[in-house]
Structure 1
């Protein structure tokens, strides 16, 4: 087991998520940056579905009850074993009693700890991912707490030949981003000037960002004047309730776009003017407050090709480990 000495700011158990329950109000969930989580698992010889620990800003202090193998991937952060520096993106062997801790994060907001065998908490609706709002998954449906003992499973896969991921395969954490979007379903409610501002102006990520969504500040948009339908609110962006796709962009009040992420609610009464493509959701998860962002429209065919390229890129990174 791994003993939680200090929990960090917000450390949760996550995996690839629980698709298939959105219609019941349970979001997909899972690690916000699936690429970083998968690469961490690959370094320790886990299946991609193995549960990891997702750490936000301030990481936990963990003590190994027995010898085990771990890896840390994601946002750049100082990794310490018994107070001594170790490398991120590298396989690390811990002996019984060793303490794993972290220094200051140097970019992005989150990083992932993979343990060989995975964090072996019970599944809830087919996933070990923590959904705090719904109080399911992980450790009792909550973030880890001091004194928790996290069970570790076993892996039937061999350890990869390489003990570190080459730098060319590691994700970057830039201070500016281009996020590709597909316009719709309600972009027709924006004026031409509103659409121009959305896709041509710059937007800056605010500190209001979590697993549910990320709020941006910028020039705002313009909505077409219309008579609100029965059941909609008075905000110009209000609609009669509809389902939300993961990655949907809403602009309540027409000023601050919100991009919905993995733990977002499944529906509501705000118009979705565009959706961040699936291939860029990991990039979105790497943004820190202050990140300057442009929303770049692409076609559905381009979005599907980007998804294929993302899969090929991650597969190549995993294969590089041997």
Structure 2
């Protein structure tokens, strides 16, 4: 079976768990921005966690199925319609051949996910079906969907049953307008004055509309940098360094204002100081932020970050354990 795309939405791409192991040559991990929401969609339709889904940003697609299909929509709250009739998120939807699936506007967050039993069938490139649009790599022809595209559905790898009946309200991610994001201090935190670091960690930052798969930019107070004579090879901006590798989740502050938190499709290195890093367990939370979200950065220890990662992985394992 296949999905015939009538309207592509603002930015709809094929994503999965990501393309790990190539960051050292400049290819980011990519994958679903909100990994937990994407995995929940796969769990509901009876896929494994590895199957590719559609990631829909702000405005979703409109498409028809060529055959019967089982789908689920998770992530940011959005109006779901089958043949013009309202349906629910977070549960299985049974579609017949020729049915039209469409969406209204988001009421919170930025992205929602569409899983189909069998998974979206696109070629595996460097171990992943994820789309990296900046590199025209993976996904459907290396780009976001367009009207007239036909997406085929694969046989998938059976999870062993029909999947979850749905995701209960108490298990669903939240899409709050105020967030506390945990960070560890970065490799170049010493480039900030004590007052500068205090500003970063005590201010309430507002997410700007400049937020995509590469990174999220925040507005707020000016952050103070330590004065120095810039070394050979660094630029004149006080936040410039001689090029270094970027950890996923790194926070940069070009010009001393508007911190940028790098996300799934971020470049792997460059010339801006990384003063803090969002912990891996909070990357999904960061991805759920809509422009205008008020954000506080809260510093934790490496031990705290590792414990949070273990808790996140345990939650994912519990999700899949409940359907096996």
TM-score (structure 1 length as normaliser):
0.98
How far off its partner does 1:310 sit?
Answer: 1.1
Q: Distance in 1 between matches of 2:135 and 2:187?
A: 27
Partner SS, residue 221 of structure 1: coil
Q: Which residue in the other structure is 2:266 paired with?
A: 264
Q: Which residue in the other structure is 2:277 paired with?
A: 275
* Contact 1:164/1:321 (8 A) holds in 2: no
Root mean square deviation of aligned Cα? 1.0
Q: In the TM superposition, what are the counterparts of 1:75-114 in structure 2 within 5 Å?
A: 75-114=76-115
Q: Distance in 1 between matches of 2:166 and 2:268?
A: 38
Flag structure 2 segments of 5+ consecutive residues without an equivalent: none
Partner SS, residue 169 of structure 1: coil
Q: Distance in 2 between matches of 1:321 and 1:74?
A: 20
How far off its partner does 1:138 sit?
Answer: 0.8
Q: 1:181 aligns with which of 180, 183, 186?
A: 183
Q: Distance in 2 between matches of 1:302 and 1:157?
A: 33
Render the CA deviation track for 1:37-63: whole Å, top value 9, x for unaligned: 000000011110100000001000010
Per mean C-alpha deviation after superposition, the further-off stretch among 304-313 and 251-260 is: 304-313
* Contact 2:43/2:163 (8 A) holds in 1: no
Count of aligned residue pairs for this structure pair: 322
Q: Which residue in the other structure is 1:241 paired with?
A: 243
How far off its partner does 1:220 sit?
Answer: 2.0
Partner SS, residue 39 of structure 1: helix
Q: Distance in 2 between matches of 1:70 and 1:25?
A: 34
Q: Which residue in the other structure is 1:216 paired with?
A: 218
How far off its partner does 1:316 sit?
Answer: 2.6
Q: Distance in 1 between matches of 2:129 and 2:315?
A: 26
Q: Distance in 2 between matches of 1:267 and 1:278?
A: 18
Q: Which residue in the other structure is 1:37 paired with?
A: 38
Q: Distance in 1 between matches of 2:248 and 2:159?
A: 32
* Contact 1:21/1:27 (8 A) holds in 2: yes
Q: Distance in 2 between matches of 1:5 and 1:162?
A: 29
Q: 2:204 aligns with which of 192, 196, 202?
A: 202
* Contact 1:163/1:321 (8 A) holds in 2: no
Q: Distance in 1 between matches of 2:25 and 2:163?
A: 43
How far off its partner does 1:267 sit?
Answer: 0.6
Q: Which residue in the other structure is 2:302 paired with?
A: 300
Flag structure 1 segments of 5+ consecutive residues without an equivalent: none
Q: Distance in 2 between matches of 1:301 and 1:160?
A: 38
* Contact 1:169/1:317 (8 A) holds in 2: no
* Contact 1:182/1:300 (8 A) holds in 2: yes
Render the CA deviation track for 1:196-242: whole Å, top value 9, x for unaligned: 00111111100000000000001121000111000000000000000
* Contact 2:47/2:163 (8 A) holds in 1: no
